[in-house]
Amino acid sequence: MKILYVEDDPVAREYIHKGLREHGFVVDVASDGKTGFERAVGGAYDLLLLDVMLPERDGFDLLRELRNVGIETPALFLSARGEVTDRVKGLNLGADDYLPKPFAFAELLARIRAIARRRLNEPGSGRLTLADLELDVQRHTVHRAGKAIELTPKEFTLLEYLLRNAGHVVSRTMITEKVWGYGFETYSNLIDVHMNHLRRKIDRDFEPKLLHTVKGVGYVLDQRNAPREEREGIGRSA
Amino acid sequence: MALGRAPLSIQTKWAVRYTAALLVSICIFAYYVYARIERNLEQDARLVLELQAQELVQELGEGSGESLTEYVERHVASAEPGVMLGIAVYDAAGKLLIAQGSLQGHTLEDPAEVVRGRTTPAVYPADFGDRSGYLVLATRAPNGIVQVAVSQHRFEERARHLKWVMVLALPLLLLLTLVTGWLLARGSLRPIAQITATARRITGANLDERIPTTGSGDELDQLAATLNDMIARLRESMERIGQFSADAAHELRTPLAALRSQIEVTLEKERTPSEYRAVLSGLVEEVETLGDAVHAMLRLASSEAGIDPARRASVALLPLLDEVMDFFEPVANENDVELRRTSCPDVSISGDPTWLRQLFANLLHNAIKYTPAGGRVTIEASLHGGRIAVRVRDTGVGIPKGEQERVFARFHRTGARQEVPGSGLGLPIAREIARAHGGSIELESTPGVGSTFTIWLPLGEIAPPAP
């Protein structure tokens, strides 16, 4: 996956660049909006990683211009401006996600991968399965090993989100935003309580365990006991 | 180009306009007066002529015993010297009988014309070669023709005199009005000068000054009062910002110091990779806490700035409360706290949905946090006129009277910091959000019994967006 990373802060640029390279991404960098625009127009990228406050031309402007000239590369904004207004502005411009600084590197990874997946297979099917867990979106039912499981509406939405991202780590903030909406960010640590409830219902009486906690990042729904992203966690050196 | 020229002060402009307006009025008035007087003087001259002629005609007709020559000579001699009276008499055939005074040598060239044509006395101006102009009257008498002339010199003199008085008085008047205008303008603009002077002295650090008001209640007094209000509000904001910056710096300094010593101690000697890893993951957690604190401060700052009009919408209260309760239900369960909501009127609030969610989340979280196991948190809502009151009632530890206002202060935490996690900004943020929506938060609390936070919010649909 080829990423264009536009960031004016040299320290952030160096470390994020290094981190992304170590996770197997091909990364080009640019340090201002003008160069960023030229690179984005010239190269075939799978993702644009854009800082909002950039010299020459800010990230919002940059993306607006790119969309105007017909470049539809997925984009993720990184910004110290974390207010909802800015996020909404970024998303309205056609960005796929908006991550306020400071963020955990694992959170960035999770979001980049989520964007990559979303582009590969848009949600379509009404039936989601993982091992012997089945969720029917239309009929609003959940079964594990053939047994019906009662979920609250929010738990259902939560499980649907996890299933759509099965095998991939999603952060607490991503879960909060997607399942509950903006306004609860402060309480994303309370997501653990919801997860425990869900885990009790779908995992407690069954084997293998499907819902795993990834320390310091979030959660993953996976058949394997050790999820992939945990194995390539950020604590390891290349 | 007018560039670089100092702009005229309002005072000068007013004085100049005032003077110009007055100048126009004076000129019109003076012209009128002059024209009137000139006409009056001419009429006076005619009157003198006509009287002389009338008397002469009468004398010719009746005869007073005095000879014509004597009569004419007496009249010419007794006339005021400036009048330069001239009298001439002709017989019926037009032959000159006598000419005295200014008419000597300027008699009629064709007296027959008078006899033939003119029935009414004709008055015409004439020039006899000296410096003054004359008015001449020629008319038929019963047995001849009478001609009388008077000099206009005296009248012209008076008119000229008047003209000079006016011409000389005008610049004086102008100067006078300019000065009075300038002084008057200065008088009425003095409050503005005071406002300017006070405003110059006001800086971020000095917001104690107030513009003096006269108490007259006029426009400038209102302006001064408005500006004073503004200064008071600015002062309040500045104080809050100052206090907040100090608190925030202090709040961040403590964890930063901890971070620093952790790093320094680790660097003091060689450690094993696993030791490094343990320290680094500890650091990540602390940095995360710091990041959360900064986020909370930003949120507080932005809620103080007011609602972004673009995000304002009509928010139905009932689903919003349910959403928030839904989020905290498992948390309450975990803490063995019962969470419930009594009936709630189906109303809408005009506001920012994200903020309103945050407002109720903060209060609910606060209530659950401070309610011991086995307790209960209840949400009630009721209508009071145009406002809705949402009460978050807990059976928690309660807050002593003296501490009740302080729970809304930034970074305040009830109990020890370690016991209850949080940024210490939850309630201040909630209060600012309520304020931004035109509402408020009240607190009633009895230690040992519980607390009730009442959120007052105005109802109301939003106006449809402009097309």
Residue A80 domain-assigned (yes or no): yes
The reported pLDDT for the residue numbered B359 is 93
Domain end marker among B301, B321, B349:
B301
Residue A153 domain-assigned (yes or no): yes
* Number of Cβ within a 10 Å radius of residue B330: 22
Report the C-alpha gap between A84 and A48 in whole angstroms: 21
CB-based contact A102 B287, cutoff 8 Å: yes
Query: Which positions in chain A touch B354 (Cβ < 8 Å)?
Result: 84, 181-183
Domain around A69: 2-103
Block mean pLDDT (10 aa), chain A, length 238 = 90 90 88 90 88 88 90 90 76 86 87 79 70 87 92 89 88 86 80 90 88 87 63 38
Q: Is A100 on the interface with B (CB under 8 A)?
A: yes
Domain count of the fold of chain A: 2
Residue B104 domain-assigned (yes or no): yes
The reported pLDDT for the residue numbered A234 is 40
Residue A117 domain-assigned (yes or no): no
How many beta-carbon pairs under 8 angstroms link A with B?
70
B454 and B403 in a common domain: yes
Residue B94 domain-assigned (yes or no): yes
The reported pLDDT for the residue numbered A120 is 60
Q: Which of A110-114, A199-203, B103-107, B145-149 has the lowest mean pLDDT?
A: B103-107
Could you tell me if B357 and B364 are in contact, meaning their C-beta atoms sit under 8 angstroms apart?
no
A226 and A131 in a common domain: yes
Residue A109 domain-assigned (yes or no): no
CB-based contact A152 B281, cutoff 8 Å: no
Sign of the alpha-carbon dihedral angle for A112, A106, B330, B348: negative
B131 and B14 in a common domain: yes
B327 and B227 in a common domain: no
How do residues B245-285 score in pLDDT, each as one tens digit?
887 888 788 788 888 888 988 998 899 999 998 888 888 87
CB-based contact A193 B334, cutoff 8 Å: yes
Residue A121 domain-assigned (yes or no): no
B113 and B15 in a common domain: yes
The reported pLDDT for the residue numbered B2 is 45
How deeply is A28 buried, as exposed, middle or buried, from its count of CB atoms within 10 A (0-12, 13-18, 19+)?
A: middle
Report the C-alpha gap between A169 and A229 in whole angstroms: 7
Residue B164 domain-assigned (yes or no): no
Residue B105 domain-assigned (yes or no): yes
The reported pLDDT for the residue numbered B41 is 80
Residue B432 domain-assigned (yes or no): yes
In what helix (H) or strand (E) does residue B266 lie, and over which residues does it extend? helix B219-267
Report the C-alpha gap between B212 and B223 in whole angstroms: 11
B284 and B268 in a common domain: yes
Query: Which positions in chain A touch B299 (Cβ < 8 Å)?
Result: 83, 186
CB-based contact B288 A82, cutoff 8 Å: no
How deeply is A231 buried, as exposed, middle or buried, from its count of CB atoms within 10 A (0-12, 13-18, 19+)?
A: exposed
A85 and A161 in a common domain: no
B99 and B60 in a common domain: yes
CB nearest B358 (choices: A85, A154, A183): A183
A24 and A97 in a common domain: yes
Residue A120 domain-assigned (yes or no): no
The reported pLDDT for the residue numbered B111 is 73
Q: Which of A34-43, B19-28, B303-312 has the lowest mean pLDDT?
A: B303-312
Query: Which positions in chain A touch B426 (Cβ < 8 Å)?
Result: 186
B155 has pLDDT over 80 = no
Q: Which value, in Å, is the radius of gyration of the alpha carbons in chain A?
A: 19
A158 and A76 in a common domain: no
Q: Is A121 on the interface with B (CB under 8 A)?
A: no
Nearest in space to B149 (alpha carbons), one of B185, B171, B122: B122
Q: Which value, in Å, is the radius of gyration of the alpha carbons in chain B?
A: 51
Interface of B with A (CB under 8 A): 277, 280-281, 284-285, 287-288, 291-292, 294-296, 298-299, 302, 308, 310-311, 323, 326-328, 330-331, 333-334, 352-358, 361-362, 365, 423, 426
The reported pLDDT for the residue numbered B416 is 45
**Of residues B118 and B209, more confidently modeled:** B209
Residue B32 domain-assigned (yes or no): yes
Compute the average pLDDT of residues B343-366: 89
Distance from CA of B242 to the nearest CA of A (A): 22
Domain around B234: 219-301
Interface test with B, best of A152, A156, A157, A190 (most B CBs within 10 A): A190
Compute the average pLDDT of residues B423-427: 80
Report the C-alpha gap between A46 and A40 in whole angstroms: 10
The reported pLDDT for the residue numbered B367 is 92
CATH at residue A47: 3.40.50.2300
The reported pLDDT for the residue numbered B415 is 56
Most confident of B68-72, B155-159, B233-237: B233-237
Q: Is A105 on the interface with B (CB under 8 A)?
A: no
Distance from CA of A57 to the nearest CA of B (A): 24
CATH at residue B140: 3.40.1840.10
Nearest in space to B50 (alpha carbons), one of B159, B153, B138, B154: B138
Residue A176 per-residue DSSP state: I
Average pLDDT over chain B reads 82
A147 and A85 in a common domain: no
Domain end marker among B242, B268, B301:
B301
CA distance from start to end of chain A: 18
Domain end marker among B134, B158, B182:
B158
The strand pairing partners of A212, in sequence order, are A220
B405 and B264 in a common domain: no
B325 and B251 in a common domain: no
The reported pLDDT for the residue numbered B5 is 61
B184 has pLDDT over 90 = no
B276 and B141 in a common domain: no
Interface test with A, best of B297, B311, B327 (most A CBs within 10 A): B327
User: Who's near B179: CB < 8 A, 6+ residues apart?
Assistant: none
Q: Torsion over CA of A122, A197, B353 and A178, rounded to 10 degrees?
A: -20
Residue B464 domain-assigned (yes or no): no
Question: What are the DSSP calls for A32-80, one per residue?
Answer: SHHHHHHHHHHS--SEEEEESS-SSS-HHHHHHHHHHTT----EEEEES
Residue B133 per-residue DSSP state: E
Compute the average pLDDT of residues B229-234: 88
Nearest in space to A60 (alpha carbons), one of A43, A37, A83, A30: A37
**Of residues B65 and B199, more confidently modeled:** B199
Distance from CA of B358 to the nearest CA of A (A): 5
Place B418 in a pLDDT band, splitting at 50, 70 and 90: very low
B324 and B296 in a common domain: no
Query: Which positions in chain B touch A180 (Cβ < 8 Å)?
Result: 323, 327
CB-based contact A82 B426, cutoff 8 Å: no
Residue A236 domain-assigned (yes or no): no
The reported pLDDT for the residue numbered B467 is 42
The strand pairing partners of B146, in sequence order, are B89, B139
Residue A150 domain-assigned (yes or no): yes
Report the C-alpha gap between B166 and B173 in whole angstroms: 10
Domain count of the fold of chain B: 3
Residue B260 domain-assigned (yes or no): yes
The reported pLDDT for the residue numbered B394 is 92
CATH at residue B429: 3.30.565.10
A135 and A98 in a common domain: no
Q: Is A167 on the interface with B (CB under 8 A)?
A: no
% of chain B beyond a pLDDT of 70: 92
Beta strand B313-316 with B133-141 is unpaired
CB-based contact B331 A197, cutoff 8 Å: no
B319 and B257 in a common domain: no
